Amino acid sequence: MQYTEKRMGGTRLRLAHNQPSVVGSDGKVITVTPWLAPIVWEGTFDPTLIDSIYKQQNITIATTVFALGKYTQFLKDFLESAEQNYFVGFCVHYYLFTDQPQQVPKLKLGEGHQLTVVEVPSSNRWQEITLRRMERLEKLIESRLINEADYVFSLDVDTKFYGRWGTESLGRLIGVIHPGYYQTPREQFPYERRPESQAFIPRAEGDYYYGGAVIGGLVKDVYEVAKTCRKQLDIDAAKSIEAAWQEESHLNKYFLYNKPSKVLSPEYLWQDLKARTNEVKIIRFSQVIKNYAAVRPNP
Ligand SMILES: CC(=O)N[C@H]1[C@@H](OP(=O)(O)OP(=O)(O)OC[C@H]2O[C@@H](n3ccc(=O)[nH]c3=O)[C@H](O)[C@@H]2O)O[C@H](CO)[C@H](O)[C@@H]1O
Ligand SMILES: [Mn+2]
């Protein structure tokens, strides 16, 4: 089926494709995207084998985490649970952005793991904090990660690890399927729907709804994500438009045209308040329950 779409004065012919499923009608999980990227679920990989491949490569995985304002309270559980589950046995370098370095818990990290605190100014709008992560990630990659790491993940801090998150998650460009929308028709995805925004996605388009809590991949590929989203956020800001879900909306737009080379299933981004479903055999990383009014600087 074809449809035409008017854009920038010209007519662009696009082939419409069906929305890809995440769980089949038989209840079994789908393990490959229609563009042939793996979707990582428990049972699709052998952890021992996949670790042995990356062991030979002596890789470093940079991990950026932001904890500003009251979100420093999440650091202890985040870091402690990461040390139990996140790339155990591999070189991990956390870059922790905070406005309160004195609130960073002192932890003994596992072998090969290190943590650098980066002090940043406070902000009184949570939306500003989350969307500015793109710019800070872009700058960090330019100034340091280009020389210091092979892969990078950007992760939300209001989270906990409950299971292995390891080398199976590595690849050129990585996105995670948001746990709230993997069985939702795409026209109901909370994409940005105003054409004035750079994050705009029409109702008939979209593959998955990706969570903004996880972005990963090779340093140079994540650099392109961060730089592009930062530029798009700047264009919107100049027009006083803020996308529905800030940088998450821009990330979804980026992934629509630059498909991830590997997709992490909702095992890699669950929500503590969401009951486990049949298809999810293990919860690896999950958003903790938070009282929004109590932890955010503004409504
Ligand atoms: C599960 C998921 O995909 N979450 C996304 C979602 O809501 P969330 O409700 O998960 O957003 P959130 O409040 O956790 O903010 C995202 C992150 O910004 C940081 N932060 C935020 C507020 C603050 O006062 N201090 C602070 O440090 C912190 O690292 C936090 O984890 O939408 C946001 C965009 O608006 C982000 O894309 C989140 O990644
Ligand atoms: Mn969060």
Distance from residue 5's CA to the centre of ligand 2 (Å): 35
Average pLDDT, the chain: 95
Distance from residue 67's CA to the centre of ligand 1 (Å): 10
Is residue 3's pLDDT more than 60?
A: no
Q: 57-72, pLDDT tens digit by residue?
A: 999 999 999 999 999 9
Is 223 marked as binding a ligand?
A: no
Q: What is the pLDDT of residue 16?
A: 79
Residues whose beta carbon lies within 6 Å of some atom of ligand 1: 66-69, 71, 126, 129-130, 156-158, 178, 211-213, 245-248, 269, 287, 296-297
Is residue 10's pLDDT more than 50?
A: no
Q: Pick from 72, 118, 127, 156 the residue to mutate for probing ligand 1's pocket: most ligand atoms within 8 Å of its CB.
A: 156
Is 157 marked as binding a ligand?
A: yes
Is residue 13's pLDDT more than 80?
A: no
Q: Pick from 103, 104, 130, 298 the residue to mutate for probing ligand 1's pocket: most ligand atoms within 8 Å of its CB.
A: 130
Q: What is the pLDDT of residue 30?
A: 98
Query: Whole-model pTM?
Result: 0.95
The residues annotated as belonging to the active site are 248
Domain boundaries, given as residue ranges, for the chain: 39-294
Kindly report the protein residue whose alpha carbon is nearest to atom 25 of ligand 1.
Answer: 68
Kindly report the protein residue whose alpha carbon is nearest to atom 23 of ligand 1.
Answer: 126
Q: 145-204, pLDDT tens digit by residue?
A: 999 999 999 999 999 999 999 999 999 999 999 999 999 999 999 999 999 999 999 999
CATH annotation of 39-294 = 3.90.550.10
Residue 41: which pLDDT band, with cuts at 50, 70 and 90? very high
Q: What is the pLDDT of residue 14?
A: 62
Is residue 291's pLDDT more than 80?
A: yes
- Identify residues whose C-beta is under 5 A from ligand 2, the ion: 156, 158
Q: What is the pLDDT of residue 15?
A: 62
Is residue 2's pLDDT more than 50?
A: no
Is the ipTM higher than 0.95? The answer is yes
Q: 198-248, pLDDT tens digit by residue?
A: 999 999 999 999 999 999 999 999 999 999 999 999 999 999 999 999 999
**Tokens 């009608």 appear where?**
25
Neighbour tally for 40: CB within 10 Å: 22
Is 29 marked as binding a ligand?
A: no
Residue 5: which pLDDT band, with cuts at 50, 70 and 90? very low
Q: How many residues are there in the chain?
A: 299
Is 158 marked as binding a ligand?
A: yes
